[in-house]
Amino acid sequence: MPDATPDTSTVLPALPALSAQAERLIELGVHEIAGLSAEEIRTFAAETDGEGALLAVHPDRAPASALAPLLRRDGKPGFVVLDMPDVDEFGPFAVELPDAPLYVVTGVDRGDHMANWSPDEALPALTKEDRTPLLLTEGIQWVLQEPAVLERSRCFMTIGSRLRKPNGSMDARTPAIWISNGSGRDGRERRNAPKVGWCWWNNRHTWLGFASTTGRSS
């Protein structure tokens, strides 16, 4: 297994107050995607104790396919790779979500110290640390609130979302969020754009950590 020494070279920006995050979601129209009013989101943020936490919309209300195009980097919108048309079928895996349209995600970390680990290696290590991996939708919403957390050579996987096949086995693809190089089917015009893609469950990538959380509550 790769070295698990924590990487302390990068300090990630703190998340804004929940009230500011609520306004950001409203500005982007996420409340409309989720079938919520702006007031519902504002009220939840005002009544919830979540300093340093991420305000998240349940994936049943705001799927990855609707959130990814809202991402921006260098003025370019985010996108989902062409060979992941089933992105919204990747559901919670090894994660329990609050039964509510809105909830908070605490202690979010990018998992840089697990770069060059495979998802198969990272999941039990996160469990041992009393952490659970982020869902893809949570990862996207984190970048929507703090675009600076997505850096070249320091991007992240969101292995809290996986796809179960009809035969009951797990699809070997695992979602990740990184920055396009504009090569291949991405298209040159998408260079530097935020990208939702996938990697194999048993593969390692030096530039992908494993985003995780200490807990979720509504």
Q: What residues pair up with 152 in beta bridges, in sequence order? A: none
**pLDDT of 149-188, one tens digit each?**
999 999 999 999 999 999 999 999 999 999 999 999 999 9
Asked whether 30 and 138 are in contact (CB, 8 A), the reply is no
- pLDDT value of residue 97: 97
Q: What is the mean pLDDT of residues 180-206?
A: 96
- pLDDT value of residue 5: 52
Q: Please state, in angstroms and as integers, the Cα–Cα distance from residue 138 to each residue in 10, 144, 157, following that order.
A: 21, 10, 11
Q: Is the pLDDT of residue 8 over 60?
A: no
User: Considering only CA atoms, which of 192, 173, 108, 169 is closest in space to residue 142?
Assistant: 108
- Higher-confidence residue of 9 and 195: namely 195
Q: What is the pTM of this model?
A: 0.95
Q: What is the mean pLDDT of residues 28-33?
A: 98
**pLDDT of 45-85, one tens digit each?**
999 998 999 999 999 999 999 999 999 999 999 999 999 99
- pLDDT value of residue 106: 97
Q: Is the pLDDT of residue 2 over 70?
A: no
Please write down the HEC assignment for all residues of 72-134.
Answer: EECCEECEECCCCCCHHHCEECCCCCCCCCEEEEECCECCHHHCCCCHHHHHHHHHHCCCEEC
**pLDDT of 86-133, one tens digit each?**
999 999 998 999 999 999 999 999 999 999 999 999 999 999 999 999
